């Protein structure tokens, strides 16, 4: 079923691209890719805050895995949420 949806998505995307009638130049595509990379990696000081949150979340998820087996996903999720909330106080 996923394959059917993927094929429909590709067909719709190529159909709309052909309907526009104007293909992008390769140089325009290269410039667009460069701009996207520049936006992605030039975040500035916000990166440190994001990394700290990721570390807290990862530590809490790891501890939840050690405490609760895969048979108790609700307990794991609850513990992870409480741990993250306690770490941010």
Interatomic CA distance for residues 17 and 23, integer angstroms: 8
Q: Looking at the predicted structure, is the pLDDT value of residue 60 above 90?
A: yes
Q: Looking at the predicted structure, is the pLDDT value of residue 68 above 80?
A: yes
The pLDDT of residue 47: 55
Q: How does pLDDT run across 9-56, given as a tens digit for each residue?
A: 777 777 655 555 555 566 888 888 877 877 777 666 555 666 778 889
Average pLDDT over residues 46-75: 86
The pLDDT of residue 43: 61
Interatomic CA distance for residues 42 and 54, integer angstroms: 19
* Higher per-residue confidence, 7 vs 43: 7
């Amino acid at each position: 079923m996923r394959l059917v949806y993927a094929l429909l998505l590709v067909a719709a995307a190529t159909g709309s691209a052909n309907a526009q009638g104007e293909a992008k130049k390769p140089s325009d595509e290269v410039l667009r890719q460069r701009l996207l990379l520049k936006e992605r990696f030039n975040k500035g000081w916000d990166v440190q805050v994001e990394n700290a949150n990721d570390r807290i979340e990862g530590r809490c998820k790891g501890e939840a895995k050690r405490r609760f087996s895969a048979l108790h996903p609700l307990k794991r999720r609850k513990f992870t949420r409480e741990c993250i909330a306690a770490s941010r106080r």
